[in-house]
Structure 1
Amino acid sequence: MPRVLIVYHSQSGASARLAAAARAGAEGAGGIDVALCRAWDAGASEVLAADGLLLVAAENSGALSGGMKDFLDRTFYPVGEQGRVLPCALLLSAGNDGRGARQQAQRILSGYPMREALEPLICRGPVTARLEALAREFGEGFAAGLEMGIF
């Protein structure tokens, strides 16, 4: 059974809500094992045990949140040394437009052994039921694509 790892960093709670919604969507896809970890608690062993990685982070001061950058820094070499290329997807909670955080994440991930499976989803403004629904659909789509072998 394929395994999706959802790693999130949240200070205000917005990214945590979006990560929970993405998890619900991924679990709803069926045929997938889903793990949810805070960025501070996740490491290379969790990434290497996964078949796909969904990153959920906030935009802070127009850039990717520090907790997510820390996670990517800590796992970059241990994961890269294994030679596995994982499909990944990026979900951002943005107070501004999210472009800076997206660009920074994509720049980091371009050197990481990842391939972008979905276009990043940027959820702008306060988390609403509509944004949670988008995050659920995003998680479900990522999990379904992984389960079907598309990614």
Structure 2
Amino acid sequence: MVIHAPSANTKRLQHAAYQAVTDADVDIELVLKSPQDTQPEDVLAADSLLLGTTENLAYMSGLTKDFFDRCYYPILEHTQGLPCAVYIRAGHDGTGTKNALMTIATGLRWQWVQAPLILRGEWQESFIDEVSELALTLAAGLEAGIY
């Protein structure tokens, strides 16, 4: 999991993703890192990737962009087919962030396990359940050998 969580609510989303997988007792090794602490070696060692980012000025957070700036070329030819999922905490629309992340993942030839989850507008408690479900879907599919 590579998750940018700059606020109390985004930290709740991060915790929900992590807790959903650990509570389900899925037999996978779970690693949670912030974008600034994630290195190409971390992605190369991953069997799947859950990304979490905020939307800033109609784009992904600067730290998420920095993660891709540093890691894209070192992982480009080595992570094709990597199962991935993303959630975007967007105060407004989320479309620019979604499009940018989909373009990057397409360039890396990653495999989306589902469409990007955009958590739009004012904070809603239902966001917690949506992120939990996304994380669990990715983990359970990986464990089951679906991807």
Q: How does the TM-score come out when normalised to structure 2?
A: 0.90
What is the alpha-carbon distance in structure 1 between the residues aligned to residue 29 and residue 65 of structure 2? 25
- 1:21 equivalent to 2:24? Answer no
- 1:85 equivalent to 2:81? Answer yes
Percent of aligned pairs with the same amino acid: 38
Structure 2: which amino acid aligns with 1:97? D
Match of 1:102 among 66, 76, 98: 98
Q: Is the 8 A contact 2:28 2:143 kept in 1?
A: yes
- 1:32 equivalent to 2:25? Answer no
Alignment deviations for residues 14-54 of structure 1 (CA, whole Å, 9 cap, x no partner): 33321221111122332122111000001111111110000
Aligned match of 2:4: 9
Structure 1: which amino acid aligns with 2:22? E
Alignment deviations for residues 103-144 of structure 1 (CA, whole Å, 9 cap, x no partner): 111112111141111111111234443111111111111100
Aligned match of 2:107: 111
Query: Following TM superposition, by how much is the alpha carbon of 1:77 offset from its aligned partner in structure 2, in angstroms?
Result: 1.1
What is the alpha-carbon distance in structure 1 between the residues aligned to residue 79 and residue 42 of structure 2? 15
| Secondary structure of residue in 2 paired with 1:35 | coil
Q: Is the 8 A contact 1:26 1:139 kept in 2?
A: yes
Which range is displaced more, 109-118 or 35-44? 109-118
Q: How does the TM-score come out when normalised to structure 1?
A: 0.88
Match of 1:122 among 118, 122, 132: 118
Aligned match of 1:137: 133
What is the alpha-carbon distance in structure 2 between the residues aligned to residue 69 and residue 27 of structure 1? 28
Q: Is the 8 A contact 2:4 2:63 kept in 1?
A: yes
Gaps of 5+ in 2: none
| Paired residue total | 146
Gaps of 5+ in 1: 1-5
RMSD: 1.6
Query: Following TM superposition, by how much is the alpha carbon of 1:93 offset from its aligned partner in structure 2, in angstroms?
Result: 0.4
Q: Is the 8 A contact 1:94 1:122 kept in 2?
A: yes
| Secondary structure of residue in 1 paired with 2:31 | strand
| Secondary structure of residue in 1 paired with 2:53 | strand
Structure 2 vs 1, CA of residues 83 and 104 (structure 1 numbering), >3 Å: closer, same or farther? closer
Query: Following TM superposition, by how much is the alpha carbon of 1:78 offset from its aligned partner in structure 2, in angstroms?
Result: 1.1
Q: Which structure 1 residue ranges, 4+ long, deviate > 4 Å from structure 2?
A: none
User: Which structure shows the higher strand fraction?
Assistant: 1
Aligned match of 2:44: 48
- 1:67 equivalent to 2:67? Answer no
